[in-house]
Amino acid sequence: MPKMKILVVALAFLLAHHPACAAASQKIISFQVDGQKVVGTLEVPDGAVKPAVILLLHGFKGSRNELEIPSLQEGVFTRAANAWADQGLASLRIDFRGGGDSEGSFEDTTISGQVKDALAAIEFLQTEKSIDPKRMALVGWSQGGAVAAITAGRTKRRLAAVALWNPLTSPAGSGEAVFGPDVVKAGLASAGRATVIKLPWGAEASLKTAFFVDLFTVDPVADLAKYPGPVFVAVGTKDTVIYPQPQLGQLLLTYHRGGGELWVRPMDHVFNVFEETHTVDELIEATGAFVAKNLR
C-alpha cells in the first residue's frame, strides 16, 4: 500500500476512535435561578434524534469545562462530553452561580445554592426539544458529587442513573479536614461576613457564613438514599482531599436502596491527570457504559 494511502487510513482510524473528535453540536444556554443567570454548554451528537442527556456538575471553585488536563489542554468535563457524544449521548455542563460565566459572587456559594442550580438545570432540560428529558443521568465530581447526590434525592424528575466521582460524602468532616477546624469555627462565627480560606493546592477563596452552616445541615448520604435508581461511585485510594477511600464511597452505597457499583482505582482527587490520562479516560468510559446500560 502506498505511504500516502497508509497515512490517510491511519488518520481516518484515529479520527473515528478518538473521543475528542466526536461529531457534535454545542450551544451556550442559560436559565434563571433567583434572578441570576446560570450559563451552560449543551452538547448534542450530530444526527441524533432525541438522545438521552447527562447533566454534569463541577467541583469546588471549578467551572463547566472543569480542570484542564495538562498534556491535552482539554478540560475533564469537555473530554467526557465529547466521548459521550461519540456514544450518542447528549450532555449539559453548567457553571454554578458565582463561577465561570454564570452570575453571582463566589462568596455567596453554598452547597444548597448549587443544588438549587442543579434542580433548575433539570427543569430547563424538560423544555429542550433536542434531547429526551425522560432519559437523563447525573454526574458530579467532588463537591459537585455531593450536589448530585442531594439533587438525585430531591428532584421530582426521573433519573436513569447517577454517577459520583470522588464525591464529597461528609461535608462537615471534609470541610474541617481541608480548611482546618479553626477556619470552620471562624466561618461559623463570621456573622455573614466573608472568611478567607486557603486550599490544599495553594489557592485562596472567600466564603460567607452560610457556606459553613451548610456543611452541618446538608447530608448527601441521606438524600441519595431517597433516590431509587442505580448509582455509580468512583473513588481513588490516593485521594488526599476526600478520604479515607474506598470507605466513604461505600458509605454512599450502603444506605442506597437501589443498584450500585463502586469503582475503585489507585488515583488521586483529579484522576492522576497531571501524570497520565489513562485513568480519566477509563473513568469516562466506565461512566458512559454504566449510564448507557441503565438507559435501556
- Per residue in 8-44, pLDDT (tens digit) is 333 333 333 344 444 899 999 999 999 999 999 999 9
Question: How far is residue 44's CA from residue 25's CA, in Å, rounded to a whole number?
Answer: 5
What is the 3-state secondary structure of 37-89? EEEEEEEEECCCCCCCEEEEECCCCCCCCCCEECCCCEEHHHHHHHHHHHCCC
Radius of gyration of the chain (CA): 19
pLDDT band at 7 (very low <50, low <70, confident <90, very high): very low
Q: Is the pTM of this model over 0.75?
A: yes
Considering only CA atoms, which of 159, 90, 172, 179 is closest in space to residue 118? 159
The answer on pLDDT for 251 being more than 50 is: yes
What would be the CATH architecture of the domain defined by 26-295?
3-Layer(aba) Sandwich (3.40)
Q: Where are the domains of the chain?
A: 26-295
Question: How far is residue 96's CA from residue 119's CA, in Å, rounded to a whole number?
Answer: 11
Mean pLDDT, range 108-120, rounded to an integer: 98
- Per residue in 191-231, pLDDT (tens digit) is 999 999 988 778 889 999 999 999 999 999 999 999 999 99
Task: Give 7 or 113, the one with higher predicted confidence.
Answer: 113
Task: Give 93 or 202, the one with higher predicted confidence.
Answer: 93
Chain length of the chain: 296
According to the model, what pLDDT value does residue 156 have? 97
Considering only CA atoms, which of 30, 55, 58 is closest in space to residue 43? 55
Considering only CA atoms, which of 170, 162, 175 is closest in space to residue 118? 162
According to the model, what pLDDT value does residue 200 have? 77
